[in-house]
Structure 1
Amino acid sequence: MSTDTRTITVGIDGSRSSLDAADWAAREAQRRQLPLRLLHAGTEPAAPGGVFDIDDIDDIDDIDDIDDIDEIDVPAGRTRAALDRAAIELSYAHPALDIIARRTATPAVPALLAAAVEAEALVLGSRGRTGSAGFPVGSVALGVAARADRPVVLVRPGELPEDERVPVVDGSSPSTAPYLPVVLGLDPDASADDLIGYAFDTAAVRSAPLHVVHPWTLPTSTLRPWRHRFPGTTVREHRVDGDPGPRLLEASARAGLLIVGRRTGRGPGRAARSLIRHAGCPVAVVPHG
């Protein structure tokens, strides 16, 4: 990964979802030994935080379409206090972590896109209800994931530290359990070095196995240089005949992170949006090619 982008940045908007995302981001910053940047964007008394209907998400094919969907503003009087509270709570939970809290009056999407340029990854909460029917993705989260130049990690509400680790059965501390696999969905007809590199790097910092799901048409040599570059990472390939989406969704139920790609200059495709909506773990959307 690039060494000139040296923060993990998370958007804070006062919602419970954003605070759960901040907790995930703090753990990621600690794993990568990077500073954590908390960012609240927008002006009082309301912050843009509308929620799409799930059907609206499926109708988005181009990045510009995101601006055509109506949002519902949510109260934001609590965001200033939430930003300060998040910084304090995270500093207690991670005393060695360098935490920077910032506010800006710039609207959320452009502010977060600008912040993403300077970040190793941008982390956002996905608002809505959990469950088998999936959950609506916030307009800010979707808009940023569709445009950002860096990886954007979308964290489900209620995500806990133990959710990214192997369940313990012997009474030991969950924090010492091995990490669950990182799962990568790989498209064989795209230039995907940035996507593959992010996946291998993420697995390496967790000492987690990497499971790569891809069609049969992927050349066998695609992953070879990355295996040599990360010899300590266990890699399992899952070749599927047809749509890999169902296999990725199944794998996400036993994963710590699901990584999907999107073409630079385009929003996530329909398959990626379905995974964002239904995956059983946080989803990283990585621009490439």
Structure 2
Amino acid sequence: MLAPVVAGVDGSAESLAAAEWAVREAERRGRTLRLVHAWERDPRPGREASAGAVHRHLARRVLRKAEDRVRGVSPGTRLEDEPVQGAAAEVLLHAAEQADLLVLGSRGLSGFTGFLVGSVALRVIAKAVRPVVLVRAGEEAADEHLSAADGSASTRTGYRDVVLGIDVADPCDEVIEFAFEEARLRGARLRAVYARQDGAPLDPKPHSSTADTARELLDDSLRVWREKYPDVEIRVTVATGRAQSVLVRAASGAALLVVGHRLADRPVGPRTGPVTHAVVHHVDCPVAVVPHP
């Protein structure tokens, strides 16, 4: 059985936008959509039974609201729901382990809301073993598509670009493959972006500029994937500047930004890197964070 696309929902506008994005992604992938809502046990003695009944009722109401929203977008999608008692981060991480990908809502510049409090969402991104996509409130199906000829929003036009942030010094197959697959599913162009800081050593070839060498390294990193995905149009960009700033600019007007996150045990606990942290807070399109060794 194929792993589902999972969306965490809490009744907020951003989680409902995430559920809508998730159902469109589930359709593209031919997967079931699973909606997950978490609530924590009441810690007060003697309140467990009554509080539990209330929480279960509220959980069902949140899930019904999300189901109605999803059914309105895609009546024929295979749909499951799962109310779960437990700490939000642990519930979401467990759901991610069994998912094709996990989709969560985000307020973008304002951080996260509901059970997706900043520290919880960042912990999920930092520790999830499957890709996590963050979707801002207000995201609609037309936002993934190019504008119509008259400038109006449309879902009948082609998809906007998928943007891949890549480090030519450490290209990661899991991240690159995810981006190519997302572009293929949409029939979209893939833009691979490498941010080069002035003075960064790249061992340039004789008589070659640093920029030319960076482009050659970027092309080398993508060569096998071009062959595997011959139908995906790809454009490569080497830009000078901090990766955070370059990717925020590159993602403007994109359908999706894809970045990688290295899974590593750190003595101070799970952390997202500075690039991931910046883009999940400042990019206005959906952001896919893909874990890799």
Task: Give the TM-score range, shorter chain.
Answer: 0.7 to 0.9
Alignment CA distance shift 1:246-1:42 (3 Å)? same
Alignment CA distance shift 1:105-1:186 (3 Å)? same
Residue 13, structure 1, aligned to residue 10, structure 2:
yes
- Equivalence for 1:267: 271
What are the superposed Cα offsets for residues 86-112 of structure 1, whole Å, 9 maximum, x if unpaired? 113312421221010111112211111
Instruction: Report SS of the residue matched to 1:39.
Output: strand
Q: What is the percentage of aligned positions where both structures have the same residue?
A: 38
Answer yes or no: is the 8 Å Cα contact 1:20–1:125 preserved in 2: yes
- Equivalence for 2:21: 24
Instruction: Report SS of the residue matched to 1:168.
Output: coil
Answer yes or no: is the 8 Å Cα contact 1:14–1:78 preserved in 2: no
Answer yes or no: is the 8 Å Cα contact 2:194–2:239 preserved in 1: yes
Which one of the candidate residues 119, 123, 130 is aligned to 1:150?
130
- CA–CA separation in structure 1 for the residues paired with 2:91 and 2:171: 28
Instruction: Report SS of the residue matched to 1:260.
Output: strand
- CA–CA separation in structure 1 for the residues paired with 2:2 and 2:153: 33
- Equivalence for 1:202: 182
- Equivalence for 2:210: none
RMSD of equivalent CA atoms: 2.3
> For structure 2, which runs of at least 5 residues remain unmatched after alignment?
44-54, 197-201, 203-213, 265-269
Which one of the candidate residues 41, 47, 66 is aligned to 2:38?
41
Once the 2 structures are TM-superposed, how far is the Cα of residue 191 of structure 1 from its aligned partner?
4.9
Instruction: Report SS of the residue matched to 1:255.
Output: coil
| One-letter amino acid of the structure 2 residue matched with residue 135 of structure 1 | S
How many pairs align? Answer: 253
Instruction: Report SS of the residue matched to 2:288.
Output: strand
More displaced stretch, 205-214 vs 217-226: 217-226
Which one of the candidate residues 110, 121, 127 is aligned to 2:101?
121
Once the 2 structures are TM-superposed, how far is the Cα of residue 22 of structure 1 from its aligned partner?
0.5
Residue 90, structure 1, aligned to residue 70, structure 2:
yes
> For structure 1, which runs of at least 5 residues remain unmatched after alignment?
47-75
Once the 2 structures are TM-superposed, how far is the Cα of residue 164 of structure 1 from its aligned partner?
1.0
Once the 2 structures are TM-superposed, how far is the Cα of residue 241 of structure 1 from its aligned partner?
3.0
- CA–CA separation in structure 1 for the residues paired with 2:244 and 2:123: 22
Answer yes or no: is the 8 Å Cα contact 1:261–1:268 preserved in 2: no
Residue 160, structure 1, aligned to residue 153, structure 2:
no
Instruction: Report SS of the residue matched to 2:22.
Output: helix
Normalised to the residue count of structure 2, the TM-score between the two structures is 0.80
- Equivalence for 2:169: 189
Answer yes or no: is the 8 Å Cα contact 1:12–1:79 preserved in 2: no
Answer yes or no: is the 8 Å Cα contact 2:38–2:59 preserved in 1: no
- CA–CA separation in structure 1 for the residues paired with 2:99 and 2:237: 31
Once the 2 structures are TM-superposed, how far is the Cα of residue 170 of structure 1 from its aligned partner?
4.2
Instruction: Report SS of the residue matched to 1:176.
Output: coil
Structure 1 or 2: more helix by fraction: 2
Instruction: Report SS of the residue matched to 1:158.
Output: coil
Which one of the candidate residues 283, 286, 290 is aligned to 1:282?
286
What are the superposed Cα offsets for residues 248-273 of structure 1, whole Å, 9 maximum, x if unpaired? 11121110111111111253211221
| One-letter amino acid of the structure 2 residue matched with residue 178 of structure 1 | G
Once the 2 structures are TM-superposed, how far is the Cα of residue 188 of structure 1 from its aligned partner?
2.3
Once the 2 structures are TM-superposed, how far is the Cα of residue 171 of structure 1 from its aligned partner?
8.4
- Equivalence for 1:136: 111
Normalised to the residue count of structure 1, the TM-score between the two structures is 0.81
- CA–CA separation in structure 2 for the residues paired with 1:44 and 1:94: 33
Once the 2 structures are TM-superposed, how far is the Cα of residue 145 of structure 1 from its aligned partner?
0.9
